[in-house]
């Protein structure tokens, strides 16, 4: 879990076109969070729930949260469900991200200066970082 955003004011959030990274535009610059997966797995950002009262939003706290296990659709071996909650003075931001693997691997969000961004054996977790707007962002 990263405290990179605590105390910052988020003005906008964008997602990469491949759903593998988020760009937070803040009052003190940009912060990028990357979806990362262990060795032979693939991680992506499924959805982002924006604060009810919009932006700008000052970050008060961040935390990993448990997400319901919705099972694995037929086209995947095993899906793991992860969540990250950013509490702001304008409401919560909830990031739903997922990892697909054979059941032995997992995923996470990697923040600036995290030394464990892996990218995957075949670069399957490397983002294009071509940013698009999130509705309402």
Digit-coded pLDDT (tens) for 14-43: 999 999 999 999 999 999 999 988 878 889
pLDDT value at residue 69 = 80
d(CA 86, CA 60): 8
pTM of the model: 0.88
pLDDT value at residue 116 = 63
> Residue holding tokens 């032979």?
40
Q: How many CB atoms lie within 10 A of CB 133?
A: 10
Residues 64-115 have pLDDT tens digits of 898 878 776 666 688 999 999 999 999 999 999 999 988 778 888 888 877 6
Q: How many CB atoms lie within 10 A of CB 59?
A: 21
Instruction: Give yes or no for residue 136 having a pLDDT over 70.
Output: no
């Amino acid at each position: 879990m990263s405290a990179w955003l605590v105390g910052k004011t988020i003005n906008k959030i964008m997602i990469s076109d491949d759903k593998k990274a988020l760009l937070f535009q803040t009052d003190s610059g940009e912060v990028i969070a990357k979806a990362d997966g262990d060795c032979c797995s693939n991680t992506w950002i499924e959805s982002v729930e924006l604060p009810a009262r919009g932006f700008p939003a000052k970050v008060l706290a961040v935390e990993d949260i448990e997400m319901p296990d919705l099972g694995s659709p037929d086209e995947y071996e095993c899906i793991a469900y992860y969540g990250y909650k950013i509490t702001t003075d304008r409401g919560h931001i909830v990031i739903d991200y997922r990892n697909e693997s054979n059941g032995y691997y997992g995923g996470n969000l990697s923040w600036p200066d995290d030394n464990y961004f892996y990218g995957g054996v075949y670069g399957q977790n490397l983002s294009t970082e071509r940013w698009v707007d999130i509705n309402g962002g």
